[in-house]
Amino acid sequence: MEEQLRTLAQMQTLDDEIGRYRVLQKELPKQLNEIIESVEQATANLLEVETQRAEINKKQRTLEMDIKQLQEQHKKYTNQLAEIKNNKEYKALNSEIAYIKDKISDLESNLLELMDQENEIKEKVASAKAELEKAETRKKEKETDLREQIASLETKIEDVRNKRNDLARTLPVPVVKHYGNMIKHKNNQAVAYNRNGSCGACGFVIRQQMRIELQLRRKIIYCENCGRILMNRFEDNSEDASN
């Protein structure tokens, strides 16, 4: 009977390993998706600030053209001013020249504001490029390894499952069925160890008579609360299936 208990302990160790692989099957794809999404997000951020810079540059070119046209108009009207003899026409043209001058001043102020915005957006573009480069470097470093790990997990699980099944074939069918039922319905834990007089899984206090039976190892003991297979740990750690 002690040999059966050791076998059950080894099976639990193998199922613990399978459980860890199952966790990785959920976590590694998440990590991979986060890496890929970080590159996509960084690319989108860079595109956004590049678009903003292009819009600012477009506005700058438009303002520069408007200023140039007004300057030419100002020069033309100024030259005409000397040729006008009529006082009324002189005042009207002079007023138009003053308006154009003010308009040029306003546009130049707007142009300076756009230049400030351009300097700010240049910094944002540089920062976005750095973030994209960082994300792409991380993707390059991690993606292949993560994909390989993900691809290998099912094979690892199958290998460990085969080892566990080989052990299960040495046990009575009812015991194996109970073990499998506990694995399925009790969070992948069929075996629980005595922990200071309580079930190590659910914490239920073990009766004194059952504690004695656990020490004797003459039969399989089940927790009266959760139904898991109870046992004391083996001093030689034989529950480790790798030994």
CB-based burial label for 213 (10 Å; 0-12, 13-18, 19+):
middle
Q: Which residue has the tokens 């790798």?
A: 242
One domain for residues 143 and 219: no
Looking at the chain, list the stretches that DSSP marks H as alpha helix, in order from N- to C-terminal side.
Answer: 2-81, 87-168, 173-185, 208-216
Question: What is the per-residue pLDDT across 73-129, written as a single tens digit (0 to 9) for each?
Answer: 999 999 988 888 888 888 999 999 999 999 999 999 999 999 999 999 999 999 999
Pick from 8, 54, 15: which is nearest to 168 by CA? Answer: 8
pLDDT surpasses 80 at 242: no
Residues 199 and 159 in one domain: no
Percentage of the chain surpassing pLDDT 70? 97
Query: By the 8 A CB rule, do 219 and 233 touch?
Result: no
Tokens 């898991």 label which residue?
Answer: 228
Q: Supply the mean pLDDT for the chain.
A: 94
Residue 10 lies in a domain: no
User: Are 74 and 128 in the same domain?
Assistant: yes
What does the pLDDT look like over 52-69, one tens digit per residue?
999 999 999 999 999 999
* One domain, residues 157 and 177: no
Please check the confidence at residue 25 and state whether its pLDDT lies above 50.
Answer: yes
